[in-house]
Structure 1
Amino acid sequence: MATCGCGDVCASDKMRDSQARTLRIVLAINLVMFGVEATAGWLAGSTALMADSLDMLGDALVYGFSLYVLARDDRWKAISAFIKGGIMAGFGLFVLVQAIDKLLHPALPTYETMGAIGLLALAANSLCLYLLWKHRADDVNMRSVWLCSRNDIIANSAVIVAGAGVWLTAAQWPDLVVGLGIAALFLRSATHVFTDAVRTYRAASVKT
């Protein structure tokens, strides 16, 4: 039987190639959906949609960093995770500011747009989650990527619920509640990623 003669090295290269292909696909999906959701969120006056579009942009940046460190050691992957955590935290704070602005300047969002775009984003992120599922336990780099994708499904579902809430109540508060919830999810995930990154960086430093 023919073998590559490199044992674990070949297996590692194959896994890295598979990770790279998956990351390129989900990166493209998230960049497209960021443009769609940001435009729709601005036109609809929806805090929840704007928050979800920022989540898409954050994920695209996360996937870009993840591609960069695929062939690097665990310390680089931990540093990448730190950056991802910072992006999550920054977007969470931005959404909080947006929500406060909406409280000071009330405006009823367009629930039809929220529902339609929310469903489209949910379909896109479900595909991303499916593609990333097999890599969710590979290393700190791919764990943080999978966590981002999982959060997207939660956020997209919440946007759809918010659209229904605005329709039923004819008020902006369901949109604000969901926007704040997504912000809280950003901040909680950032804390988790930071913790994982610290643990990985320390372990890598001990090895060297």
Structure 2
Amino acid sequence: MSHHHDHSHDHDHEHEHAHAHQHGSKGCSHDHGHGHHHHHGDPNTMGRAFAIAILLNSVFVAIEFGYGFLANSTALMADAGHNLSDVLGLMLAWGAAILAKRLPNGRYTYGLRSSSMLAALFNAMLLMAACGGIAWEAVQQLIHPDPVGGLTVSLVAGVGILINGFSAWLFMSGSKDDVNIRGAYLHMAADAAISLGVLIAGVVVMYTGWNWLDPVVSMLIVGFIVYSTWALLKQSLRMVMAAVPDHIDGAQIADFLRAQPGVSAVQDLHIWAMSTTETALTVQLVTPQGHPGDAALDTISRQLREEYAIHHSTLQVRLGADAPACSLQTAKHVV
């Protein structure tokens, strides 16, 4: 048995390992090529965004609920309840973003980066639960309508548009590449839209006395939030269930691996999300003509990272059909 280790590290946190373990014709031939590359927005910027958004929204929740109670507006009180769930959601997302940067250890060999997927899922579920609360309040208000203080509602909702709009803007840059940050962004954007609806309802009630409009607007808001949150819920649930991430075409990657020199078959291919920004892959490459060499495997790992956004790849080489197939347990072990 021969062992060869080649490690190269740089300050951009990209490193590749190649280990070749050559066995006899009856054994398995293993090779691992690991590529790590981290796509995060500036962590300091995101940390500031979370801190500012949490502070502003916490203050606004207290103000909004107090004035909603005084103005007898279910739309305003329901929005305050929804804003409170958003503050909790933001705290959760921020905590996950911090945990995702924790270094791996003997127990958590991938670190705690998967916490960002759990936060995104919990955020989506929290939004759905908040929608149920808003809908219930709106139905109660429709059954037992009470006079609504339109001017107070409009002024408070106007402040809500400014605070939530600004908070959404803070997360906009990081929302494209990270579903956890996108969850926070959607929360704030939805809140701004809700406040706009409440503002319009408040103005109309003020001039017409149509108190039923306040709960009707609440119901419309619920429909909007459920529609916009459904995609986030599905995407985060798929991530937690270790599905192939939405932005990756598994068949295309299988074709890419099959087309590599010396590869006759691709077996046991697994692609899953390690976090809301990083993807991992394990695969068995059947190479009847022998081990392709460390350089070839490093090249495949680099192409997977650069062309397909797969940041951590483990490639296992088998010499052919006469070698016994490696079990799933072995494949897990080599990760």
- The one-letter code of the counterpart of 1:137 is K
Say if 2:273 is the partner of 1:204: yes
Which is worse superposed, 120-129 or 69-78? 69-78
TM-score (norm 1): 0.89
Of residues 84, 87, 98, the one that matches 2:137 is 98
Match of residue 188 from structure 1: 227
Of residues 84, 92, 103, the one that matches 1:57 is 84
Note the C-alpha offset of 1:8. Answer: 4.4
Q: Which structure is larger by alpha-carbon Rg, 1 or 2?
A: 2
Q: After TM superposition, which residue ranges in structure 1, 4 or more long, deviate above 3 angstroms?
A: 8-14
* Equivalent-residue separation in structure 1 for 2:121 and 2:40 (angstroms): 25
Match of residue 158 from structure 1: 197
Q: Secondary structure at the match of 1:69?
A: helix
Q: Secondary structure at the match of 2:210?
A: coil
* Equivalent-residue separation in structure 2 for 1:186 and 1:51 (angstroms): 13
* Equivalent-residue separation in structure 2 for 1:83 and 1:142 (angstroms): 13
Which is worse superposed, 90-99 or 51-60? 51-60
Q: Answer whether contact 2:61 2:84 (CA < 8 A) is retained.
A: yes
* Equivalent-residue separation in structure 1 for 2:64 and 2:231 (angstroms): 26
- The one-letter code of the counterpart of 1:193 is L
Note the C-alpha offset of 1:183. Answer: 1.9
Q: How does 1:17-56 map to 2 (within 5 A)?
A: 17-56=44-83
- The one-letter code of the counterpart of 1:128 is S
* Equivalent-residue separation in structure 2 for 1:169 and 1:57 (angstroms): 31
Greater RCO (CA < 8 Å, at least 6 residues apart): 1
Match of residue 115 from structure 1: 154
Q: What fraction of aligned residue pairs are identical, expressed as a percent?
A: 23
* Equivalent-residue separation in structure 2 for 1:17 and 1:127 (angstroms): 18
Specify whether residues 11 and 199 from structure 1 end up closer, same or farther in structure 2 by C-alpha distance, changes over 3 A only: closer
Q: Answer whether contact 1:38 1:49 (CA < 8 A) is retained.
A: yes
Specify whether residues 189 and 14 from structure 1 end up closer, same or farther in structure 2 by C-alpha distance, changes over 3 A only: closer
Note the C-alpha offset of 1:186. Answer: 2.9
Which is worse superposed, 125-134 or 172-181? 125-134
Of residues 64, 67, 75, the one that matches 2:94 is 67
* Equivalent-residue separation in structure 2 for 1:18 and 1:8 (angstroms): 20
Q: Answer whether contact 1:91 1:186 (CA < 8 A) is retained.
A: no
Of residues 132, 137, 150, the one that matches 2:171 is 132
Match of residue 216 from structure 2: 177
Specify whether residues 194 and 168 from structure 1 end up closer, same or farther in structure 2 by C-alpha distance, changes over 3 A only: same
Say if 2:45 is the partner of 1:6: no
- The one-letter code of the counterpart of 1:68 is G
* Equivalent-residue separation in structure 2 for 1:87 and 1:97 (angstroms): 16
**C-alpha distance after superposition, 1:71-92 (max 9, x if no partner):** 3255321211111111111111
**C-alpha distance after superposition, 1:21-56 (max 9, x if no partner):** 111110111111111111111111112111221221
Match of residue 18 from structure 2: none
- The one-letter code of the counterpart of 1:7 is D
TM-score (norm 2): 0.57
* Equivalent-residue separation in structure 2 for 1:62 and 1:164 (angstroms): 30
Q: Answer whether contact 2:124 2:233 (CA < 8 A) is retained.
A: yes
* Equivalent-residue separation in structure 2 for 1:179 and 1:20 (angstroms): 32
- Is the helix fraction higher in 1 or 2? 1
* Equivalent-residue separation in structure 1 for 2:113 and 2:164 (angstroms): 27
Q: Answer whether contact 2:119 2:180 (CA < 8 A) is retained.
A: yes
- The one-letter code of the counterpart of 1:98 is E
* Equivalent-residue separation in structure 2 for 1:60 and 1:166 (angstroms): 29
